[in-house]
Structure 1
Amino acid sequence: MIFELTMTNLISLAGLFFGALWALLKVIGGQAERRANEQFAALQASLTNLSVDMRREADAARQLETSFLKFQAELPRDYVRRDDFVHVLGTINTRLDNFALRVERVIDNRLGNVQ
């Protein structure tokens, strides 16, 4: 059982070793590439979801801005209406009070004259 190492055997063993090493590196590289592709796909899906969410947020912000601008446009009109209502109500109350005073004076004058 003597094992002879001739030059052809040595070259064949070295070729076999380097071939196995190259195949192992190729398999490891393929796995790393698959893993990187999976991560990039997950990242792409995340970015797509983020893009959709950002569009929704932008639409919501636009709607909020629109409703706020409508509120700003309606507020002065409603405030003026309210102010006018208070003014008119005050005028009506003043006129009713004046009318009540006149009626009291007339009644006092008539009762004062009768007695």
Structure 2
Amino acid sequence: MTNLISLAGLFLGALWALLKVIALQAEKRSNEKFAALQDSITKVGIDMRREAEAARQLETSFLRFQAELPRDYVRRDDFVQAIGSISTRIDNFALRVERALDNRFGGTSQ
């Protein structure tokens, strides 16, 4: 009977040791998976920061473009207006010179 009890104790001890080894291996695997997951999360965080910085730079560039566009458009509009004004003044001056020459030399006007 004592042999049976000691055999049962030995069996239970071996079973307990086997379960302990299996539990330690499972814990080791889950720790490795969590470490890999943590690395992945860290990499994703770094990538998200880079993307956020790129988006901020793009937004800054776009806002700068929005600020410069009306100024450049107004400059072009002002340039066209100034050239038109100068052209009109030259045409008016040419007409006055032509009329003055016609009046002075008695030419015929068409």
TM-score, normalising length from structure 2? 0.84
5 Å matches for 1:23-102? 23-102=17-96
Aligned CA RMSD, in angstroms, stands at 1.9
Aligned residues: 107
Q: Which segments of 5 or more consecutive residues in structure 1 lack a partner in the other structure?
A: 1-6
% identity of equivalent residues = 77
Deviation at 1:56, TM superposition (A): 0.9
Rg: which structure is higher?
1
Amino acid at match of 1:33: E
What SS class does the counterpart of residue 107 from structure 2 fall into? helix
TM-score, length basis structure 1: 0.80
Q: Which structure 2 segments of 5+ residues have no match?
A: none
Q: Which runs of 4+ in 1 moved over 4 A?
A: 103-109
Q: Return the letter of the residue paired with 2:10.
A: L
Task: Report what 1:112 is aligned to.
Answer: 107
